[in-house]
Amino acid sequence: MRTRPTILYFGPVGESVPDLVQQWVAGNDFPFELHDDPAQVESIVLRGHPCFLFIDADNMGARGVELVRGLKSDPFTAIIPALVLARSHDADQIQAWFAAGADEILTGVFPPPEQRARLDALLVRTQRDVSVHPSTRMPGTTEIEREIRRRLESSQEFAVCYADLDHFKEYNDRYSYYDGDRVIYILSRILHDVVKGLLGNRGFVGHIGGDDFIFIIPAPDISLVCGEALTVFDTLVPFQYNEQDRRAGYFFGKDRRGQLHRVPLMTLSVGIVTNRHRTFAHPAEVSELATEMKSYAKTLPGSVYVVDRRQSRSGEERGGSPAQRES
């Protein structure tokens, strides 16, 4: 179960919290904590609790500026939104707060409705920023789970497709992590452009991490989407190799025991789960079965997709490669 983000308020203990903050926190049903010790605030943030930090600029002054600067200097804590509350609109102070890394500053120049609107907008931006993968800007695991849950609650047939690269580690070892990152980005563009180009808003593409992707599509479109994605991938991926490897169709790499062996060019394996023959109660069930099907797909040669058609735990059926479209 996901917890609600904790709202931290850095201000003097014993004094009243502004009505704006109290009403906004209550309206969103957020847990709320008031602290006047910057070390304690840093400790709470470093423990990884999702939170939203308000700073009382008038009472905390330089201590607040240093707190914000310290949090924003660390990539782990920099993602925490820092919002500064000030009664007066002092240009020099506002410049200092923004220079320290503050995400938003509310002063008396904004009427209460606009202040609340700015708070809501900052919250939306924060939720959006933490739910995408930084390298591909695709929705991450939180949004993937939310999308699976949304599909489970609908009455339509859908397919969850788990895509993974084959021989990616060996490629990274031979070339470089920079080249590996480029391949992952290319794969993200292929999946996005194919799914969105063919299905528009009926398709969803997310990035779990590394070379693992999830795309969710209507079940009747499996053959169309997966066939096109594998065809485009197999067309483009050879150009990520040097001419010698591309012409040969392989290169020599070392296994874990240090023995040389032929490593084929990268291929794409997709394991697919649908709700045609199964009823799922939770996204975790879908994820578990999709992982199983992806592992099965990786045992097959070439770029393939496999569709689970089982009503029990036996009898997988191969979906096919670009040359073996699903009927």
**Whole-number pLDDT of residue 320:** 47
How confident is residue 315, by pLDDT bands cut at 50, 70 and 90? very low
pLDDT at 3 over 70: no
pLDDT at 32 over 60: yes
In a domain, 326, yes or no: no
Tokens of 267: 């291929």
Compute the average pLDDT of residues 161-176: 94
CATH assignment at residue 254: 3.30.70.270
Quote the CA–CA distance of 220 and 20 in Å, as a whole number. 50
Split into its structural domains, the chain has a count of 2
In a domain, 325, yes or no: no
In a domain, 136, yes or no: no
Quote the CA–CA distance of 180 and 177 in Å, as a whole number. 5
**Whole-number pLDDT of residue 2:** 44
Q: Are residues 29 and 77 in the same domain?
A: yes
Q: Are residues 297 and 153 in the same domain?
A: yes
In a domain, 135, yes or no: no
Q: 52: closest CA among 18, 36, 28?
A: 28
Quote the CA–CA distance of 84 and 101 in Å, as a whole number. 11
**Whole-number pLDDT of residue 318:** 44
Q: Are residues 85 and 146 in the same domain?
A: no
Compute the average pLDDT of residues 209-226: 96
**Whole-number pLDDT of residue 75:** 64
Picking from 19-33, 43-57, 147-161, 281-295, which range would have the lowest pLDDT averaged per residue?
Answer: 43-57
Tokens of 17: 């919290």
3-class DSSP state for residue 248? Answer: helix
**Whole-number pLDDT of residue 296:** 96
Compute the average pLDDT of residues 111-139: 80
Dihedral Cα 211, 228, 198, 307, nearest 10 deg: -70
What is the value of pTM for the model shown? 0.68
Specify whether the CB–CB gap between 184 and 210 falls below 8 A.
Answer: yes
Q: What is the mean pLDDT of the chain?
A: 88
For residue 31, the enclosing domain spans 6-130
Tokens of 149: 């849950």
Compute the average pLDDT of residues 98-110: 92
CATH assignment at residue 70: 3.40.50.2300
Picking from 44-58, 213-227, 294-308, which range would have the lowest pLDDT averaged per residue?
Answer: 44-58
Specify whether the CB–CB gap between 315 and 240 falls below 8 A.
Answer: no
Q: Are residues 148 and 107 in the same domain?
A: no
Residue with the bigger pLDDT between 302 and 73: it is: 302
